[in-house]
Structure 1
């Protein structure tokens, strides 16, 4: 009898059990003793860089971390002035329980997580949907008008019609890699060059419904909210999110997700070669190096990284975790280090825009009963400028936080020219129309915290959003850690990060590509996995992603 595990981020393109590899008592692998202590460069102190650095340290290497701006990358938890434990999550803020690679580290560090207040969840308490000036209050999906249920049912039917979704989900739960590939691989060719919107509108279920149904689906969607910003994306991108439950059962990290990386940076771990008490922090003298401005092949056949102060350091291997466009803008990279087809993939990767606006308030006043007995305010989805509004209760006696607005693409670009005060005014103006008579302003404390990721020179966008036809590009980037068949001039430099993964915008993609790079660097240094705990590269030949012809 097949034992079904919970849905995890297992595949579907590369169905390798990263969590099993991490948890195996044999460890991830070993490198030869004569290579112990050798430095390797890790460019970027985000999730991919810090996790890869931690695992490489345990193998006995010396990861030297470069960071151009702020430790944490897009796991950025910004404290409000005067309330250091009250934070705004400017980047990743909700983490599905299917992300078992990520939670391996969360659990190992003893970090606490709680359910995220997504729409129509118990954690939110209540939800308000406001579209075209019509407002609906709901505590669960059944409280909404029939049209919303019809939309949800139509999308489930579309998934079944176009993707054999129930069978695919069953295979993921069973971790049946052969069955997953049997169903998924044909879908790659079928849907790579077709959009999310095409998937919806070409389904029988949606064809029998009105344009209004498709419009509501775009504005409100399912799970965490509207999906119209993703309508132009390749449908494969969305199918992975649905299949791996990345948009379901989400939690947030108490104290801010950035603290996971700070804790891992300081975590003392048993290491080959290094003495007891060693951490990434101690190996790096308590702080990261600065901006990497050049990566070049050196005369010894290794790689040289030059920092912003003109200091050049030599390495046997370099791991690059920054956003791919920075390799042709911010960092001078020898062109010969990557094949031209890989350069095409790195430079053509398309990134989506995202903006958030947070305020700290004196208390969770939104829970106060209004004249109708309902809470004064609820988690809110709307077609107005705010798009998504979330509420965070930090407990008795502590200030609370409102994410006034979380928006993507065009809605994010509307705010790009404006400073924090103007953004707050625009958000309050929209919310005052939904909640007339509720005085949000008198509860605000301190200064707002805002972000537009596309305006940050170190990111140039929030996360990848693959367009139709981009599967081949993703395959080139993701599979680059397999270097045995590359010419010598292209070996030793590795890529990681959620933008390299199949699941952009989700930290699990950063974790998995970091672990791929760890395997790649270990192998490059002459190391190997234990025979009873093969790594991703050891299983690539039989589990690797399907190739589409160029």
Structure 2
């Protein structure tokens, strides 16, 4: 539910700055870093035009390539499919201006570095209709065969407000949420780290469910069950119950689950735009140069092998059989690909990093979309005075259904189902048509008498990320005890302590970020990797704008003992 997590997290306080995704593990001001007039830094002139491999054309890859270009380097982009990665916007046949967001579809305003790039490309956003959000006309919560209609939280039975209050009190009493959010607002890195490092030490071995079960406010199983099915922000959270509670505390402390916005025209426009946009004030390259123009308008094909040369360079072999050697490389694809889809030298990474890659845990996810002739859900039922259909949370197979109004005179778009983990696995053997029919059956039971099928004008568009060869999952989600693995992968860009044979290749992407599943995390790790390449090639940051590696010693993620 979109209900206040704490008064501090959603209140509009004029004298206080907003919450942003500043940390908490690595409290660095990425938004200030990319907007600083001094730029990200410089490289020696003799390095101008040096080719750097960028493996993966998702958001992290495109941000990496875009910023490398501005430094005077030549990013060479490898992509097995199309530019976008999990920012995948699929148009409907005959309706190219209506897209189904198969991956990222909603973005919190606290993702301030993301919004810098959206603004750079002139992309617009609009409020996303999460359950009980202000922009959502109505919400139906259907549990155990009983439906509740609401426009506001107060319209629901009292136990829902009690659950929201229990979550708020649990966060305040068990995780110092309000002091942590105040430190994030003030960008007080020392205070953020003081609070967060203690939470990491206390909760690294605790599941989300275990955190709830030890709270006196969730002593009731019924309350825990209801919270898992309805949750907060985007809806039910029971699929996250086995994951580390630290993953959840990162989300709530940075308002990542609040006040989401969608990108008008589709999220894929951002990585595609960074590919084709010619930035101003570039070094070395003539005006009008873009990542696309440096690559001849085409990405190189899928990478099949990565190896070291005798001088420490990185050789990249693609599916056409061509091998190219680079002074440095950034790997932004899902890290599991380094284990199976790509033949890798052992010396690419230290053994502890290989272990971390192997232990990374991914969440699965499935979406099912259909196009309808019009946003019929806005019709009023004359018998009840209610909307005939609403944004829907349910314990039935569909779980979450979103109604997406495309504007006056346009068809309506329905995300019939958005599921994660076990709920996604239930759909894997089914064809697109079978998936659609199951979801419509669920919705017809919730809305008897509403002929949804008669409005459908498209074949279903569906995707399960865990079956995609180049993804094998939707996003990373740490399990209890995985903090040490996460710390190794996130910190990999700072390579001063690595042996020379392990340097020069950098991992990036939201799956090695602290906030997996959020575009901001993909961008932050891309900027880390760009700093790493710059440093590796003998460059440096401006004294007026130190980069993440320059301040690493002061704000590095805590390293737990028994490494």
Partner residue in 1 for 2:271: 261
Please say if 1:96 is aligned against 2:108.
Answer: yes
Distance 1:59 1:419 in 2: 47
Distance 2:423 2:492 in 1: 34
- Range with bigger deviation, 364-373 or 378-387: 364-373
- When normalised by structure 1's length, the TM-score is 0.99
Partner residue in 2 for 1:395: 407
* SS in structure 1 of the partner of residue 511 of structure 2: coil
Distance 1:394 1:77 in 2: 14
Partner residue in 2 for 1:274: 285
Q: Is the 8 A contact 1:142 1:149 kept in 2?
A: yes
Distance 1:529 1:56 in 2: 13
Q: Is the 8 A contact 1:5 1:174 kept in 2?
A: yes
In structure 1, stretches of 5+ residues that fail to align are none
Distance 1:164 1:338 in 2: 37
Alignment of 1:396-411 (within 5 A): 396-411=408-423
Partner residue in 1 for 2:29: 17
Report the alpha carbon displacement of residue 162 of structure 1 after superposing the two structures with TM. Answer: 1.0
Q: Is the 8 A contact 2:133 2:259 kept in 1?
A: no
Please say if 1:340 is aligned against 2:337.
Answer: no
Distance 2:468 2:345 in 1: 24
Partner residue in 1 for 2:51: 39
Distance 1:458 1:351 in 2: 13
Alignment of 1:11-410 (within 5 A): 11-207=23-219, 210-270=220-280, 271-370=282-381, 371-410=383-422
Distance 1:313 1:257 in 2: 32
Please say if 1:543 is aligned against 2:555.
Answer: yes
The structure 2 residue matched to 1:475, chosen from 462, 484, 487, is 487
Q: Is the 8 A contact 1:496 1:513 kept in 2?
A: yes
* SS in structure 1 of the partner of residue 457 of structure 2: strand
- Superposed CA deviations along residues 31-87 of structure 1, whole A, max 9, x for unmatched, are 111000010000000000000100000000000000012210000000001110100
Distance 1:345 1:373 in 2: 55
* SS in structure 1 of the partner of residue 549 of structure 2: helix
- Range with bigger deviation, 259-268 or 345-354: 259-268
Q: Is the 8 A contact 1:161 1:203 kept in 2?
A: no
- Range with bigger deviation, 392-401 or 303-312: 392-401
Q: Is the 8 A contact 1:3 1:174 kept in 2?
A: no
Distance 1:3 1:535 in 2: 28
Partner residue in 1 for 2:6: none
* SS in structure 1 of the partner of residue 513 of structure 2: coil
In structure 2, stretches of 5+ residues that fail to align are 1-13
Distance 1:4 1:174 in 2: 8
Distance 1:55 1:400 in 2: 38
Distance 1:389 1:67 in 2: 32
| CA root-mean-square deviation | 0.9
Q: Is the 8 A contact 2:492 2:506 kept in 1?
A: yes
Distance 1:38 1:180 in 2: 38
* SS in structure 2 of the partner of residue 403 of structure 1: strand
Partner residue in 2 for 1:466: 478
Partner residue in 1 for 2:8: none
* SS in structure 2 of the partner of residue 95 of structure 1: coil
Report the alpha carbon displacement of residue 3 of structure 1 after superposing the two structures with TM. Answer: 6.0
Q: Is the 8 A contact 1:177 1:543 kept in 2?
A: yes
Report the alpha carbon displacement of residue 281 of structure 1 after superposing the two structures with TM. Answer: 0.7
Distance 2:316 2:485 in 1: 26
Partner residue in 1 for 2:454: 442
Q: Is the 8 A contact 1:96 1:250 kept in 2?
A: yes
Report the alpha carbon displacement of residue 204 of structure 1 after superposing the two structures with TM. Answer: 1.8
Partner residue in 2 for 1:514: 526
Report the alpha carbon displacement of residue 301 of structure 1 after superposing the two structures with TM. Answer: 2.5
Report the alpha carbon displacement of residue 4 of structure 1 after superposing the two structures with TM. Answer: 2.7
Q: Is the 8 A contact 1:361 1:400 kept in 2?
A: yes
Q: Which runs of 4+ in 1 moved over 4 A?
A: none
Report the alpha carbon displacement of residue 485 of structure 1 after superposing the two structures with TM. Answer: 1.6
Distance 1:223 1:494 in 2: 34
Partner residue in 1 for 2:541: 529
- Superposed CA deviations along residues 337-390 of structure 1, whole A, max 9, x for unmatched, are 111110000011010111000001111001011131111100000000000000
Report the alpha carbon displacement of residue 220 of structure 1 after superposing the two structures with TM. Answer: 0.4
Report the alpha carbon displacement of residue 264 of structure 1 after superposing the two structures with TM. Answer: 1.3
Partner residue in 1 for 2:3: none
- Superposed CA deviations along residues 68-116 of structure 1, whole A, max 9, x for unmatched, are 1221000000000111010000000000000011111001111100000
Distance 1:311 1:195 in 2: 46
* SS in structure 2 of the partner of residue 88 of structure 1: strand
Q: Is the 8 A contact 1:218 1:226 kept in 2?
A: yes
Aligned length: 547
